[in-house]
Amino acid sequence: MSSISLQSSLPKTYRIIDITQETENVRMYTFDGSLGAKPGQFLMVWLPGVDEKPFSVAYDDGAHTRIAFFAVGPMSEALANCSVGDLVGLRGPFGTSYEWEPGQHLALVAGGYGAAPMFFVASEAVQHGTTIDVIVGARGKEHLLFLDQLESLPNVALHVATNDGSQGFEGYNVTVLEKMLEVTQDTKTDDPAIDQVFACGPEIMLKATLDLCNKFGVPCQLSLERYMKCGYGICGNCVMDPLGVRMCVEGPVVKGEIASKLDEFGKYHRDSVGRKHDF
Ligand SMILES: Cc1cc2nc3c(=O)[nH]c(=O)nc-3n(C[C@H](O)[C@H](O)[C@H](O)COP(=O)(O)OP(=O)(O)OC[C@H]3O[C@@H](n4cnc5c(N)ncnc54)[C@H](O)[C@@H]3O)c2cc1C
Ligand code: FES
């Protein structure tokens, strides 16, 4: 039975101290405080009178917290209209985080706003002597996120894939991963093998990553998103079939062994009232 402190189940107000427009569609907010989040965890972001919704932590350095988001509907559009100096309610951090061993060689696969938590992972993991290949994918170069930040980290090799070929490899980031695994997991070469693959992005990308990792026998950790209401295991809205695991507590970061047993993964998700929607 998991427990969560009353402190983190109640929102506390934080002030927005910086706003950057990362791409045409993605904004990043920095708040004036830390919630002690680890890479992969999420927060519930509350705008009084509007709504409360989950967002991944893009960064937490012990003094400041960041989120990066798309404006896709009523709450995120209202959030996008906030200004520096405005107060926002934050609850958390919630859920599981990515885990690695010192000195491991990691491959990170990032799509969409998934590049934000992957930067958070990379910036923490390199402090533990890890070496990292990061593969950032997007529709076109104008949608690529966090390339400069990732490139500035030591022991990180950056790879880029765009669907339209406007930057880096023309095609999907998972195709770059496949080519990498074909080389690194070949025992005849001297290249160091990849110890773990971490992925964050659209579910179709996550499913393709899982299939590749299963094929090459590489452990992986994936960040799964389901409709969240309470954020800490009470309402049951985020459970996945057939295991009944709650993505806000036993996720959002799950190991490949668990994701492989979730029948709905890559096939469908449920909305706010539990109706199924195919991907
Ligand atoms: C663990 C987790 C981490 C997330 N991290 C980010 C992030 O870093 N950046 C980002 O831009 N978005 C993130 N999202 C998605 C974000 O929660 C939705 O974009 C947001 O809730 C949209 O709300 P809305 O009112 O603006 O739009 P709506 O019109 O209400 O919803 C638009 C779409 O967003 C999704 N959504 C809506 N409400 C929820 C909810 N309560 N829980 C989960 N999904 C919902 C649904 O797919 C829905 O179709 C994350 C979701 C989860 C579950
Ligand atoms: S969001 Fe309520 S149990 Fe997960």
Residue 29: C-alpha distances to residues 106, 157, 262 (Å): 28, 26, 33
Measured in angstroms, how far is the CA atom of residue 270 from the centroid of ligand 1?
12
Ligand 2: which residues within 6 Å by Cβ? 228-231, 233-238, 246, 248
| Ligand nearest the Cα atom of residue 238 | 2
For ligand 1, what atom is nearest to the CA of residue 116? 8
Per-residue pLDDT, 77 = 97
CA 220 to chain centre: 14
Per-residue pLDDT, 1 = 47
Measured in angstroms, how far is the CA atom of residue 227 from the centroid of ligand 2?
8
Distance separating alpha carbons of residues 52 and 46, to the nearest angstrom: 4
Rounded average pLDDT per 10-residue block, the chain, 279 residues = 60 97 95 97 97 97 97 97 97 97 97 94 96 97 95 97 98 97 75 89 97 96 97 94 95 98 94 90
Measured in angstroms, how far is the CA atom of residue 54 from the centroid of ligand 1?
6
Instruction: Note the pTM of the prediction, 2 decimals.
Output: 0.95
Per-residue pLDDT, 7 = 53
Measured in angstroms, how far is the CA atom of residue 238 from the centroid of ligand 2?
5
Whether the Cβ atoms of residue 257 and residue 196 lie closer than 8 Å to each other: no
Measured in angstroms, how far is the CA atom of residue 55 from the centroid of ligand 1?
7
> Does 232 contact ligand 1 (Cβ within 6 A)?
no
Backbone angles phi, psi at 89, to 5 degrees: -85, 130
> Does 70 contact ligand 1 (Cβ within 6 A)?
yes
Q: Longest C-alpha distance within the chain, in Å? A: 61
Residue 65: C-alpha distances to residues 29, 35, 41, 84, 202 (Å): 8, 7, 12, 14, 23
Measured in angstroms, how far is the CA atom of residue 4 from the centroid of ligand 2?
13
Whether the Cβ atoms of residue 145 and residue 26 lie closer than 8 Å to each other: yes
For ligand 2, what atom is nearest to the CA of residue 233? 3
> Does 54 contact ligand 1 (Cβ within 6 A)?
yes
Whether the Cβ atoms of residue 164 and residue 170 lie closer than 8 Å to each other: yes
For ligand 2, what atom is nearest to the CA of residue 235? 2
Distance separating alpha carbons of residues 182 and 178, to the nearest angstrom: 6
**Residue nearest atom 5 of ligand 1, based on CA coordinates:** 55
Measured in angstroms, how far is the CA atom of residue 55 from the centroid of ligand 2?
14
**Residue nearest atom 35 of ligand 1, based on CA coordinates:** 227
Task: Go through the domains of the chain in sequence order and give each one's CATH number.
Answer: 8-94 (2.40.30.10), 105-278 (3.40.50.80)
